[in-house]
């Protein structure tokens, strides 16, 4: 069971020194119990007590890492079953599967798709983070050749080595050890050898069993060997069973507070179906519940666009709006005579507006001032979208250097800002645009026609 503030207080030196940043030891203990501070903040606590408190106050689901340098990824550390209770903190990662029994054509096709999928959405670069390379031939040289090819040609992806052969596993890890790989394939027969490899290279170890009962016993055996950098999986081949497994793993950890299952989970949706879009459908389910690594056969733009957008929406704080970066955005081949439109930095609004501007086929500039991450009317009502904030954005982002025209188009629902903007921007004319984004294409075409 989790320690209460009073449980922790009884273990403290009770000096009330304030060196931890809190007025009393009791205040520190209460904050520590809530997970708001680390035990190391107390300078007089013994190492034994520090370790005990660190273990007791750590998230019930362990936080684990893989990768290297800027491509170091964090999994696990989740504290709730439902996003609205708090928030999900460490987003899941997607993997493309390669096998040493695949044809050269299939391998090259998947590599090409992985390298093509690279784009920015709401200030985040989207790409495939993991290349899952599976040994099915049991031919070490053939497998290592595939692993090296994928490593050399998929520069953005961290390798995930999938094999139950400890000898091949060791050679494979040695090949890519500098990339912080994942080793996946520990089972009841090979777990001792696989743990030794994982310990030697300090890497994340994937543990798999036929069912949850066997998986639980296997994790206990691995704990007895002193290793806890794990990711869990079962060999479920139906969507229903895979769903039940990951939900029960999460519930066991968080509801019954059993740390044996306190690890992130991996789901191979490519085992559940060979149909490309059914894999996508299953993957969307496991983005929400509760896979930390999701393995598909392939990821191209038709898969990436909906899947990455869903992940980005789920793995944000529901109490904080998603915002795009403030600035001046070029839509199409906008140039010095193109219209300038104003919208807000609330991501949903921006993407709707920019999409309608693109649909109009009228090259334009879209100016995004600081609007607090709110929608148009909410930002105006809160005083975030005003004549001053729009004028400031015009100056800060060098709009006057980009366009010759001195006209700016504002959303029709905040027409009331027209005079304030013209006061704040001498020499500029404010044009009141459409009230709805869907009307922008016609509005822009008419606007350009009248100016011609």
Q: Which CATH class is domain 327-451?
A: alpha beta
CA distance linking residue 178 with residue 58, whole number of Å: 28
pLDDT at 35 over 70: no
Average pLDDT over residues 334-349: 94
Domain ranges for the chain, please list them: 5-57, 63-314, 327-451
Specify the pLDDT at position 52: 77
Tens of pLDDT, residues 391-420: 999 999 999 999 998 999 999 999 999 999
What is the 8-class DSSP label of residue 182? E
User: Mean pLDDT over all residues of the chain?
Assistant: 93
Contact 404, 410 (CB under 8 A): no
Specify the pLDDT at position 399: 94
Specify the pLDDT at position 167: 96
pLDDT at 2 over 70: no
Q: Please spell the DSSP secondary structure of 8-24, one letter per residue.
A: HHHHS------TTSSSS
Specify the pLDDT at position 215: 98
pLDDT at 374 over 70: yes
CA distance linking residue 338 with residue 405, whole number of Å: 8
CATH pick for 63-314 out of 3.40.190.10, 3.40.50.720, 3.20.20.20, 3.40.640.10: 3.20.20.20
**C-alpha closest to that of 90 among 70, 68, 65:** 65
Tens of pLDDT, residues 172-220: 999 999 999 999 999 999 999 999 999 999 999 999 999 999 999 999 9
- pLDDT band, residue 48 (cuts 50/70/90): confident
Tens of pLDDT, residues 101-155: 999 999 999 999 999 999 988 778 999 999 999 999 989 999 999 999 999 999 9
Q: Is the pTM of this model over 0.85?
A: no
Count CB atoms within 10 A of the CB of residue 348: 14
Average pLDDT over residues 25-42: 82
CA distance linking residue 51 with residue 427, whole number of Å: 66
CATH topology assigned to domain 5-57 = 3-methyladenine DNA Glycosylase II; Chain A, domain 3 (1.10.15)
What residues are paired with 108 via a beta bridge?
A: none
Specify the pLDDT at position 85: 84
Sign of dihedral through CA atoms 421, 425, 429, 431?
negative
CA distance linking residue 93 with residue 31, whole number of Å: 32
Specify the pLDDT at position 32: 82
- CB within 8 A of 157, min separation 6: which ones? 96, 114, 128, 129, 130, 131, 150
Q: At what angle do helices 166-176 and 140-153 cross, to 10 degrees?
A: 30
Specify the pLDDT at position 58: 73
């Amino acid at each position: 069971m989790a320690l209460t503030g009073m449980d922790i207080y009884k273990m403290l030196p009770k000096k009330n020194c304030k060196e931890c940043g809190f007025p009393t030891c009791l205040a520190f203990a209460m904050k520590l119990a809530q997970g708001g501070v680390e035990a190391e903040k107390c300078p007089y606590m013994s190492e034994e007590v520090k370790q005990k408190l660190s273990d007791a106050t750590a998230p019930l689901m362990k936080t684990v890492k893989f990768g290297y340098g800027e491509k170091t990824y964090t999994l696990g550390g989740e504290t709730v079953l439902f996003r609205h209770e708090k928030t999900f903190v460490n987003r899941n990662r997607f993997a493309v599967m390669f096998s040493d029994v695949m044809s050269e054509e299939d391998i090259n096709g998947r590599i090409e798709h992985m390298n093509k999928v690279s784009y920015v959405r709401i200030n985040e670069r989207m790409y495939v983070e993991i290349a899952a390379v599976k040994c099915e031939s049991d031919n070490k040289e053939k497998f290592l050749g595939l692993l090296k090819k994928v490593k050399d040609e998929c520069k953005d992806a961290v390798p995930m080595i999938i094999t139950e052969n400890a000898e091949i596993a060791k050679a494979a890890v040695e090949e890519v050890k500098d990339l912080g790989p994942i080793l996946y394939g520990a089972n009841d027969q090979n777990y001792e050898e696989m743990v030794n490899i994982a310990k030697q290279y300090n890497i994340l170890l994937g543990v798999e069993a036929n069912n949850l009962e066997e998986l639980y016993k296997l994790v206990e055996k691995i704990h007895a060997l002193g290793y806890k950098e794990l990711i869990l999986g079962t060999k479920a081949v139906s969507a229903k069973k895979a769903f039940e497994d990951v939900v029960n793993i999460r519930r066991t950890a968080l509801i019954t507070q059993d740390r044996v299952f306190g690890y992130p989970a991996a789901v191979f949706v490519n085992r559940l179906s060979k149909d490309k879009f059914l894999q996508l459908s299953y993957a969307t389910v496991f983005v929400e519940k509760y896979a930390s690594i999701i393995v598909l056969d392939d990821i191209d733009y038709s898969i990436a666009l909906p899947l990455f957008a869903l992940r980005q929406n789920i793995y944000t704080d529901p109490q904080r709006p998603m915002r795009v970066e403030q600035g001046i955005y070029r839509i199409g081949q906008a140039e010095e005579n193109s219209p300038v439109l104003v919208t807000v930095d609330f991501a949903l609004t921006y993407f709707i507006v920019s999409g309608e501007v693109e649909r109009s086929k009228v090259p334009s500039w879209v100016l995004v001032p600081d609007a607090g991450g709110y929608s148009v009317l909410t930002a105006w009502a809160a005083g975030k979208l005003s004549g001053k904030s729009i004028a400031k954005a015009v100056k800060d982002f060098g709009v006057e250097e980009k366009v010759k025209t001195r006209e700016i188009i504002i959303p029709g629902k905040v027409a009331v800002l027209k005079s304030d903007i013209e006061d704040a921007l001498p020499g500029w004319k404010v044009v009141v645009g459409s009230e709805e984004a869907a009307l922008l294409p016609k509005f822009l075409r008419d606007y350009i026609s009248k100016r011609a």
